[in-house]
Structure 1
Amino acid sequence: MVHTRSQTKKMLHASISRFNDDLFTEILLRLPAASILRFKSVSKHWRLLLSQKHFTQRFDKISKSPRGLIATDMYVPFDVENPSTPPLRCLDSYFDRPGVEILQSCNGLLLCVTWPIGCNGASKYYVFNPTTKQLALIPPVPRDRSAICFMSLAFHQTDCVRYKVICVLSVGPDVDSYQIQVYSSDTKEWKISMESFATKLFVNYWYFKIDDQQLHTLPLPLGLIPSDSEVVRKYLGESRGHLHLIAYNKFQGGMVRVNVYEMLSDHSGWFVKYQLQLDAITRYGPGYVLQVVDVVRGKEEEDTFVVLETLDKIITYNVHDRSFKQICRLTKYCSSSFYRYTETLSSF
Structure 2
Amino acid sequence: MVPITGNDNEISSPEEDCHQTTSLASTTIAGNDDLLTEILVCTPFKSLIRFKSVSKHWFSLISASHLSFNRILRRRPSGLFLRKTPLFLCDFMSEFEFVSFSNNNHNLSGALNFADDPSGIKILQSCNGLLLCSTFRKSVGKTNHNYYIYNPTTKQYSTLPPLTGTESTVFGYGLAFDPLKSIHYTVICVSSMDEYNVFYNRKCDYYINVYSSETRSWRSSGRFQTSYYMGLTDGVFCNGSIHWISLSGASFRFDVDHEYLETLPIPDSRGRRIPDSGGRRRERKYRYFGESNGHLHLIENYRTVTTQFDVFEMERDYSKWFVKYRVDLVGIVNAFPKMDRSRRDIRCMNYYAYSILNLVREEDENESSLLLHVPGKVLSYKLKDNTFKELHNLAPGKFHKKGSLQFGCFDAYLYTETLASV
Q: Which has the higher strand share?
A: 1
State how far apart, in whole Å, the 2-side matches of 1:226 and 1:83 are. 46
State how far apart, in whole Å, the 2-side matches of 1:217 and 1:63 are. 34
2:265 is aligned to 219
- Partner of 2:384, secondary structure, is coil
State how far apart, in whole Å, the 2-side matches of 1:63 and 1:231 are. 38
2:237 is aligned to none
Q: Is the 8 A contact 2:355 2:407 kept in 1?
A: no
Match runs of 1:282-297 below 5 Å: 282-285=333-336, 286-287=338-339, 288-297=352-361
- Partner of 1:141, secondary structure, is coil
Mark the CA change 1:103 to 1:196 in structure 2 (over 3 Å): closer, same or farther. same
Q: Is the 8 A contact 1:68 1:75 kept in 2?
A: no
| 223-232 vs 195-204, greater mean Cα deviation | 223-232
Mark the CA change 1:340 to 1:299 in structure 2 (over 3 Å): closer, same or farther. same
1:8 is aligned to none
Mark the CA change 1:76 to 1:304 in structure 2 (over 3 Å): closer, same or farther. farther
Does residue 185 of structure 1 match 2:259?
no
Does residue 309 of structure 1 match 2:373?
yes
Provide the TM-score with structure 1 as the length reference: 0.84
Does residue 234 of structure 1 match 2:287?
yes
State how far apart, in whole Å, the 2-side matches of 1:107 and 1:317 are. 23
Deviations 1:312-339 (A, max 9, x none): 3322212123222331325252468221
State how far apart, in whole Å, the 2-side matches of 1:196 and 1:263 are. 24
State how far apart, in whole Å, the 1-side matches of 2:381 and 2:98 are. 15
Of structures 1 and 2, the larger Rg is shown by 2
State how far apart, in whole Å, the 2-side matches of 1:160 and 1:75 are. 30
Q: Is the 8 A contact 1:56 1:346 kept in 2?
A: yes
State how far apart, in whole Å, the 2-side matches of 1:224 and 1:344 are. 43
Gaps of 5+ in 2: 1-24, 84-93, 199-203, 230-246, 276-280, 340-351, 401-405
Q: Is the 8 A contact 1:225 1:231 kept in 2?
A: no
2:45 is aligned to 33
Provide the TM-score with structure 2 as the length reference: 0.70
State how far apart, in whole Å, the 2-side matches of 1:309 and 1:194 are. 41
Does residue 152 of structure 1 match 2:174?
yes
Q: Tell me how far 1:346 sits from its aligned partner.
A: 1.3
Match runs of 1:95-244 below 5 Å: 95-114=116-135, 115-118=137-140, 120=142, 122-172=144-194, 174-176=196-198, 177=204, 178-201=206-229, 202-203=247-248, 204-222=250-268, 223-225=271-273, 229=282, 231-244=284-297
State how far apart, in whole Å, the 1-side matches of 2:77 and 2:122 are. 21
Q: Is the 8 A contact 1:77 1:83 kept in 2?
A: no
Mark the CA change 1:214 to 1:20 in structure 2 (over 3 Å): closer, same or farther. closer
Does residue 267 of structure 1 match 2:279?
no
Does residue 66 of structure 1 match 2:105?
no
Mark the CA change 1:289 to 1:212 in structure 2 (over 3 Å): closer, same or farther. farther
Taking only the aligned residue pairs, the percentage that are identical comes to 36
Does residue 319 of structure 1 match 2:383?
yes
Q: Is the 8 A contact 1:124 1:138 kept in 2?
A: yes
1:328 is aligned to 393
Q: Is the 8 A contact 1:65 1:298 kept in 2?
A: no
Deviations 1:40-72 (A, max 9, x none): 223333223212222222222x14221111145
Mark the CA change 1:247 to 1:173 in structure 2 (over 3 Å): closer, same or farther. closer
State how far apart, in whole Å, the 2-side matches of 1:141 and 1:74 are. 28
Q: Tell me how far 1:121 sits from its aligned partner.
A: 5.2
Deviations 1:96-119 (A, max 9, x none): 445111111111111111133446
Q: Is the 8 A contact 2:114 2:155 kept in 1?
A: no
State how far apart, in whole Å, the 2-side matches of 1:25 and 1:299 are. 28
Higher relative contact order (CA 8 A, sep 6+): 1
Q: Is the 8 A contact 2:114 2:157 kept in 1?
A: no
- Which one-letter code corresponds to 1:266 in the other structure? D
Q: Is the 8 A contact 2:253 2:264 kept in 1?
A: yes
| 332-341 vs 231-240, greater mean Cα deviation | 332-341
Deviations 1:73-132 (A, max 9, x none): 33433436x463324543114444451111111111111111334465531000111111
- Which one-letter code corresponds to 2:368 in the other structure? T
Aligned residues: 332
The runs of 4+ residues in structure 1 deviating greater than 6 Å are none
| 297-306 vs 317-326, greater mean Cα deviation | 297-306
Q: Tell me how far 1:139 sits from its aligned partner.
A: 0.9
Q: Is the 8 A contact 2:170 2:192 kept in 1?
A: yes
Q: Tell me how far 1:38 sits from its aligned partner.
A: 2.2
Which of 288, 300, 311 is equivalent to 1:247?
300
State how far apart, in whole Å, the 2-side matches of 1:46 and 1:315 are. 40
